[in-house]
Amino acid sequence: MPLLSLIKSLIAKMPGTGDALAFFIIQIIVQIIMLIIGIELAYGLLKEKE
């Protein structure tokens, strides 16, 4: 998983931050994904439905 590797490399570069940086980055990524899914399901993000 390239995303996971990216997050792990970010954490490795920042000693002392524990899981906090991963928690912060992952929550933002998940929120963006959920926003795309939510808007797609409700309104059709990629194409006009109606």
Residue 35: alpha-carbon gap to chain centroid: 10
CB 26 within 8 A of CB 7: yes
Helices (H), the chain: 2-13, 20-43
Task: Choose between 1 and 50: whose C-beta lies nearer to other proteins.
Answer: 50
1-50: contacts with other proteins (CB under 8 A):
10, 13-21, 23-25, 27-28, 31-32, 34-35, 38-39, 41-45, 48, 50
Binding stretches for other proteins (CB under 8 A) = 10, 13-21, 23-25, 27-28, 31-32, 34-35, 38-39, 41-45, 48, 50
